[in-house]
Structure 1
Amino acid sequence: EHPTQTLCDLYTIRKERQTVKGLRIALWGDLKHGRTVHSLIYALARFGATILFCPGPGLEMPEHVLRRLSTEYRGELKRCRDLNQDLERGFFPINAIYMTPVSPHQLAMLPDISIRVELKAGVDALYVTRLQKERQAPTVEEKELLKGYPVVDKKLLKGKEFKKTLVMHPLPRVDELTHELDADPRSMYFKQAAYGMPVRMALIALLLGAKEVKITKEQDSFVRKIDYPVYKRDSGVNCPNAKCVSNQETEVKYIKPEFKIVSREPLTMRCVYCDHDLHPQYIASSDWHEGKLESKKYHSADSHWARKIKPENLIIFASEKEAQAQQFKPSSYARK
């Protein structure tokens, strides 16, 4: 993620529109690998924006980001189909919409099909990102990704939905945002860059105690963060993200995997370091009945026991072999 860039982005939006709540903001380009959009999306949801997802082919927002968006921020995520068809027709493509609880009822009735954005209020901000070449898998052909990568130019912005749209970009750009837009009054990306220094200076001043900020209830975020219980036991599986810091050879000696327990149905853990989700296979309770060995049993994570065991007593196993190595026996609810 890129939290300080998100502060600059939010500052730009608020300075130009005086609010974030209720705005329609489109995220455009490489939504799969872009660090800036992964930070920005949570901030936009927290402050009550409606988010339009406009990815390049094969560069959709990761599922773990969408799951967190759906579980933590009380809004509704609607998916759309046939993105490539819209790209070929030259439409403004979206493949998903996240609607806040305060969105108009009509938005919640949008059909689950690919559509052109024809909202009377238009798009308030278009956040463009470059193709993250350095983060692509080695087997992915760059030419194929660039072939269908959406471009923002004057032709696109002639659409009525972009009449008052703020065009934003974290920079640097490649070919996804044409230079002909630089003089357009809707273009905000140079302002974003200029705001970077004072915004980060303000953050440093706040962290060092040079400035104090009092936030009233009215100024607080639209959605409050959920305080999930954290799983810190040594047993259990590691983060499924191979690039997570907890899986790096240089760090495994110094940090242990930690997960937030974000759901019980199904049991879902979220890595505190990289936000990737994990769905355990087997579980047990450290509070086995009266300490009797015959009561020391493990269960399938999708059984009703996942809801009954208190977070502080939860034990996760990567396999039945691991559970049995710790002298746990299979219960009648263990997967056969």
Structure 2
Amino acid sequence: MRKFIFKLLTKLPTKYITNGIFLIVLLFAYGIIGSHFIMGLNLIDSIYYSVSTMATVGYGDYVPSTGIQKIFATTLALSGVGLLAYVFNIILTNFQERMTKYSKGARKMRKIGRMDDYYIICGYGRVGKVVFQELNKRKQSVIIFDKNTEATEDLVENENLVVINKDATENNLISQAVNDNCRSVIISTGDDVTNLFIVLTIRETNPDAWIVSRASKIENISRLKKAGADKIVSPEVIGGKDLYLESAKPHILRLTVQHSSDEIFDEFKTIAKYGCTLENIDYHIPGIETPLSREISTMNIEDGKRYVDYLRKNKDAKNALDNLYGAVNNIHSHLISGPDNETFNKLIKDLEKHQTILGKNLSNKQIMEITKKRKE
């Protein structure tokens, strides 16, 4: 019977430890009252008899003789051993769990200390998984913070991956992990308040850390910037732009041209004249297939005027631009969106009056071959 009660009670969840202590106190009170009225003992002896019976010591100095006394002593002994075993088992289990967690945490921190360069990802949701996949492809060391153990259960830790299933701000864990060996912190949780708090926590102790944060809502971009994030990425903005570009593909023109930096404004005026938008510029380095891209996204002629005025007033910027144009032999491509193909045809004829057009909708490989020949 005792073994059965012991097994039953020790299998109860750890959250019942408070209830267990309460029941022990209640049982102790039951023992004192029963000892006084059933066993006929005074207060001091009642306390003594209750303790010795609940602990199953049984010194034998007070022996129940009547039936009711024996029932009372039996219930007190069985209940006492069961409850005490339950409470002490839970206390020991909690201690072991804490020691195990502490040991695991210490091993993880030692492992982090042995990493030369690594990235930190806070939040392993849909966005965090994509970031990790990109880093993993490049064989980069990664530390992932996510308190949801189910989200990271498929991850297998190795010398290049450490998973910490805790809140990044708990006990300043993130501050300990962000040091000179940390290349970047990528905050990708879906909660902007959490992202903001993580940024503030890092900035308190690591003013030089490079922080890239996700912003789920556009209105929180400025808040994250003020908190200390170096770069803010909004999936909402990026997704909207991708949707637009995909929808505009039938009306997108990639025009590869050759002209000097002094002809930028004339080109800009022509593009704006036809109601087209200059989305970006690709600079093609001779012999290299992948170009250097620069996002523009404007059709406002005033933007062109301000840019030319800026170059006029800042000689260093103008010299840098001239050097870039010289490095690419003045060859670059414009991604232009417009209303229809008829407009594009008019635009191309107009542009041909003051610059060399090398082709339209060419691939990077085709342009690379052109740059090689032009360089020769």
The alignment's TM-score, normalised by the length of structure 1, stands at 0.31
Say which structure, 1 or 2, has more relative contact order (CA 8 Å, 6+ apart): 1
The alignment's TM-score, normalised by the length of structure 2, stands at 0.28
Larger radius of gyration: 2
Greater fraction helix: 2
